[in-house]
């Protein structure tokens, strides 16, 4: 019984991890396509302001596109200080 | 009526529709130049109202509708003056912009704001004077004034309260967060959300539809359903001036003007 529960917990964890990875991947793909940056040049831990070369207006544009793509609301203050794609993905993941 | 082409805005009348276009770089900030031309527009309104049925407000700039008050000008002017003089200047500016926005709000024309991109602070307040807001799906709305130690000063709170529930007003005001067009439609702020670049086209189609109705009936309906909260608007000017005289505001303005942050509208 205990091992069955453990297996289920493990499979749930794997499913969740895959979803988190998928979220990150989708962010990178969306950002690369919209800001015309080669996808392979964007790494999960990169500073997205630098990697995408975006200013404050383009940051708002990215925020809106991410909200639309994932159908979530992302209050600006939750993203304050967030500079890398991986953390951004975790913020989105928390609202899916 | 002759079209008007100014440095900050232009207007023209065609087919019973007045189109007022904002085009002052960087993002249609409302400072002394924009205010002076908005006053010219308000003076021309009686004439325009006699020849048209609708007014569309929109921006020709790709970055958005309007970023709000010109904070750089406000900071430069107020920091060069004595406190009392600076406060008198702010009160004068508020009285003038309220007069213009109240006039647009009360226009007999059916008014439509066609917005895209940044629609912040005073820009949001300008859109709120209109009967309908049609938003491009990339539009974002925000009242970031609290970051400066201020409240919106161009009639934002009374007009938002007129249109939306108090809890929504508190959310937007007290958090200073920005919301997208879909959210704005969900809360009842925006009447139509359209694809990128389509807000003006949708506004023109809406204006054409409005033109099919009897004008007097439309004017009577608007007057009946859209009261102007004059008492609260007056209170807002007093509250704004009360807050403006505190040192926190000068510090907030300085921080904003000197900021190179990616989200300078956040504290």
Could you tell me which residue, A13 or B80, shows the higher pLDDT?
Answer: B80
Q: Which CATH superfamily is domain A23-93 in?
A: ACP-like (1.10.1200.10)
Nearest CA in chain A to B138: A64
The pLDDT-based confidence of B150 (bands split at 50, 70, 90) is very high
Of B64, B183, B266, the CB nearest to A73: B183
CB contact under 8 A, B262 and A61: no
CA dist., res. A14 & res. A9, Å (int): 9
Instruction: Note the pLDDT of residue A55.
Output: 85
Instruction: Note the pLDDT of residue B207.
Output: 98
Give yes or no for B195 touching A (CB within 8 A). Answer: no
CA distance A57 to chain B (A): 7
Q: For the residues B22-29, what does the mean pLDDT come to?
A: 95
Q: What 3 state SS string does chain A have?
A: CHHHHHHHHHHHHHHHHHHHHHHHHHHHHHHHHHCCCCHHHCCCCCEHHHHHCCCHHHHHHHHHHHHHHHCCCCCHHHHCCCCEHHHHHHHHHCCC
- The answer, yes or no, to whether residue B58 has pLDDT greater than 70, is yes
Instruction: Note the pLDDT of residue B267.
Output: 44
pLDDT digits (tens, 9 = 90+) for B223-251: 999 999 999 999 999 999 999 988 888 88
Q: Residue ranges per domain, chain A?
A: 23-93
Q: Residue ranges per domain, chain B?
A: 4-258
Q: For the domain B4-258, what is the CATH code?
A: 3.90.226.10
Instruction: Note the pLDDT of residue B79.
Output: 84
Q: For the residues B182-207, what does the mean pLDDT come to?
A: 97
- The bridge status of strand B9-14 relative to strand B54-59 is unpaired
Q: What is the DSSP letter of B14?
A: E
pLDDT < 70 regions, chain A: 1-7, 9-18
Which of these, B129, B97, B124, B96, lies nearest to B112 by C-alpha position? B129
Nearest CA in chain B to A77: B177
The residue of A49, A53, A55, A56 whose CB has the most chain B CBs within 10 angstroms, and thus the best one to mutate to test that interface, is A56
The pLDDT-based confidence of B257 (bands split at 50, 70, 90) is confident
Q: What is the ipTM of this complex?
A: 0.84
Instruction: Note the pLDDT of residue B253.
Output: 86
CB contact under 8 A, B263 and A79: yes
CB contact under 8 A, B266 and A76: yes
Give chain B's length: 267
CB contact under 8 A, B180 and A68: yes
CA distance A19 to chain B (A): 25
């Amino acid at each position: 019984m205990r091992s069955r529960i453990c297996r289920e917990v493990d499979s749930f964890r794997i499913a969740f991890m895959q979803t988190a990875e998928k979220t990150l991947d989708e962010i990178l793909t969306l950002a690369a396509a919209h800001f015309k940056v080669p996808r392979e040049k964007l790494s999960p831990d990169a500073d997205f302001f630098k990697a995408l070369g975006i200013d404050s207006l383009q940051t708002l544009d990215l925020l809106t596109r991410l909200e639309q793509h994932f159908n979530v609301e992302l209050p600006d203050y939750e993203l304050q200080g967030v500079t890398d794609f991986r953390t951004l993905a975790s913020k989105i993941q928390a609202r899916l | 009526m002759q079209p008007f082409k100014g440095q900050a805005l232009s207007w023209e009348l065609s087919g019973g529709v007045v189109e007022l276009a904002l085009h002052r770089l960087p993002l249609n900030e409302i400072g002394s130049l924009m205010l002076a031309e908005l006053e010219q527009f308000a003076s021309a309104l009686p004439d325009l109202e006699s020849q048209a049925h609708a007014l569309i407000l929109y921006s020709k700039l790709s970055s958005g509708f309007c970023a709000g008050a010109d904070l750089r000008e406000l900071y430069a002017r107020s920091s060069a003056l004595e406190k009392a003089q600076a406060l008198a200047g702010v009160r004068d500016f508020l009285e003038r912009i309220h007069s213009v926005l109240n006039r647009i709000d009360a226009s007999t024309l059916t008014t439509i704001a066609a917005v895209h991109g940044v629609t912040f602070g005073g820009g949001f307040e300008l859109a709120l004077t209109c009967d309908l807001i049609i938003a491009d799906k990339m539009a974002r709305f925000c009242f970031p004034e609290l970051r400066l130690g201020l409240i919106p000063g161009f009639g934002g709170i009374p007009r938002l309260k007129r249109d939306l529930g108090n809890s929504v007003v508190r959310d937007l005001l007290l958090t200073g967060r920005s919301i997208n067009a879909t959210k704005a439609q969900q809360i009842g702020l925006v009447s139509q959300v359209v694809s990128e670049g389509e807000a003006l086209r949708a506004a023109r189609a809406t204006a054409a539809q409005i033109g099919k109705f009897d004008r007097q009936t439309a004017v009577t309906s608007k007057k009946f359903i859209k009261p102007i909260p004059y008492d609260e608007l007056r209170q807002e000017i007093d509250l704004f001036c009360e807050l403006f005289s505190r040192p926190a505001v000068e510090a907030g303005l300085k921080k904003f003007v000197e900021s190179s942050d990616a989200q300078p509208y956040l504290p």
